[in-house]
């Protein structure tokens, strides 16, 4: 979570909300990072989680393509996009878009710091990630360094 907080701290420089995310492999290796870049890029989908998931999938594809047998990343095939075995750590509870991306990317676990009572989709307002109607439901761990994650957001919005 400390690395995700570091990512989040990079966002306000471009006017973006300070949210940061990190994707870890099953052995704890960092596969991808991201922070909000909606304002910086003009891309409404440039949320920290989506950017970190994209970076992690790219890292796994590159690892698989470097493997002689085309089976890198712990037995992954070249071109594989599933993030099975991975954990996404994010400073703010994912919104519905990001929760959907987490489910579709097949991460095993999502860990978040601050709850988002206005738009959270991992237990606060909605619970997309644990909806039994979906074919994949990652484990959810909440409240990790919650006060620090919330303080970063509070400071950002107070200063605006």
Residues marked as catalytic: 49
149 assigned to a ligand binding site? no
Contacts 24+ apart (CB under 8 A), 131-135: 134/103
Residue whose tokens read 């471009």? 14
Q: Measuring CA to CA, which residue among 160, 100, 157 is closest to residue 134?
A: 100
Do the strands 30-35 and 20-24 form a parallel or antiparallel pair, or are they unpaired? antiparallel
Element (H, E) at 89: strand 87-92
Report d(CA 145, CA 136) in Å as an integer.
26
Residue whose tokens read 């400071």? 155
CA atoms within 13 A on the CB side of 68: 0
86 assigned to a ligand binding site? no
Which residue ranges are tagged as binding site for Zn(2+)? 47, 95, 98
Q: Which residues are annotated as a binding site?
A: 47, 95, 98
């Amino acid at each position: 979570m400390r690395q995700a907080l570091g990512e989040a701290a990079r966002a306000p420089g471009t006017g973006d909300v300070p949210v940061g995310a990190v994707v870890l492999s099953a052995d704890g290796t960092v596969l991808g990072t991201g922070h909000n870049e909606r304002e910086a890029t003009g891309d409404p989908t440039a949320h920290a989680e989506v950017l970190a998931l994209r970076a992690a999938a790219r890292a796994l594809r590159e690892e698989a393509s470097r493997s002689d047998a085309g089976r890198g990343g712990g037995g992954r095939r070249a071109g594989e996009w599933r993030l099975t075995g991975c954990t996404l750590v994010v400073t703010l509870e994912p919104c519905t878009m990001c929760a959907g991306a987490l489910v579709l990317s097949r991460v095993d676990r999502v860990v978040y710091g601050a709850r988002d009572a206005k738009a959270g989709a991992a237990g606060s307002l909605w619970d997309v990630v644990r909806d039994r109607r979906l074919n994949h439901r990652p484990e959810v761990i909440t409240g990790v360094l919650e006060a620090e994650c919330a303080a970063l957001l509070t400071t950002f919005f107070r200063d605006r």
